[in-house]
Every structure is written in structure tokens, then in C-alpha cells.
Structure 1
Amino acid sequence: MKKLFLLALLLTTSYGVAAQGVYIPIPYYGNDPFTFCTLGWPPDCWAPIDPALGTFTITDPECYNPTSSALYVAICPAAFTGAAVMPKVDSRKRPVAIG
């Protein structure tokens, strides 16, 4: 009975950890995901396009290092959850009829 209880406790604990995701440290910008996802890592010759989607562009194919861009693709969409599905707001003012 005691083993069954420990097994149930282990299964519920491991499910909670899996549901929360995995923490991945960022070795750039002092582990700051906002700065990393906004600026990318220029020494590896790539630049971010949309952090919420994890898209980026290679600025120089000869010096491109895929290590930091793979980290960008893994971290940034999770760091900006919900940003990709938010509607774009039209910031232009609409004309008002006076009359």
C-alpha cells in the first residue's frame, strides 16, 4: 500500500513539472530573455524578426552560428506567449464627420 501511494505521488509530481515547461538558461545578456529575444545575438550573425513566432534572419551566412539561434527558437515563443495571437491595433485616427 505504501509503495502504491509513493508511485501515485511520483506520477502526480512529475506531471506538474512537465506541465510547467523546462527552464533554459540564456548565456547572453545576463540571462535576460527580453533583451535576447529583442536583439538576438549579433556576433553569431543573425537578427530576430518576430520573437513571438521564433523567426529570425541570417545576416551573414559565413559567420552564422546556429547555437544561439536554436536557443532563440526554443525560448522566445514561450517567453512571448499570447503575443502572436493578439490582434494588431490600428493606431491611425479615423476621421470624424462634423455636421
Structure 2
Amino acid sequence: MTTIVTLSELERDAESFLQFKRAMGHPYKRGAFEIDRFLRFVRQHWGEEDPIPLAEAIQRWVGGAAAARLSRLPTSSASFGSSACSVGDAIRPAMCPGMAGRR
């Protein structure tokens, strides 16, 4: 099943998430920066009103970030692929469907 969202839904959820993290005492500055980068990416690729397939948006964003990192670092794409599957629960099902529910 594909989760479809809109940019306004993503922005609202991002703001709620940041408010929660900050209420828990975390400044979350770098995380907020990365969330803003993701929202800009989505806006550029899907626009303000278009339906956004969430898993595809995450895969394309992380894939682009991986390509940028790999061009600057002497690592292989295999090392990025293995680390991408160890990220938090929120994007693990989208990036690594076989790992859904694993910790």
C-alpha cells in the first residue's frame, strides 16, 4: 500500500514533530535543518498541491543525498545502503521494506 500525502500535511506533521522534540528538551537544530531540506526537496519535485507518494519521496531524497555524499567520500554505495536500513523507524519501512517492524 502506498501512502499518499500533500506538502501541507508533511509541513504540519514536521512542525508537530519539532514542537514535540523541543517540548521534551531537545533543541533539535540539525534535525530541523534536515526536515526543512526534505520539505524543500518535496516542494521542488512535487509542488504545493500535488499528491506525494511518501516512500518514493523519501527514496529519491535519500538517494540524492547518498549520491552527493558518495561523490565527496571514499566509500562505496554498499556502505550507504547498509546504513540506510539502520535509520529510525519512521523511514525504515519506506527505505527497507523487508525490515519493517525490526529494531
* TM-score, with structure 1 as normaliser: 0.27
* TM-score, with structure 2 as normaliser: 0.26
Greater relative CO (CA pairs within 8 A, separation 6+): 2
Instruction: Give 1 or 2 for the bigger CA radius of gyration.
Output: 1
**Bigger proportion of residues as strand:** 1
**Bigger proportion of residues as helix:** 2
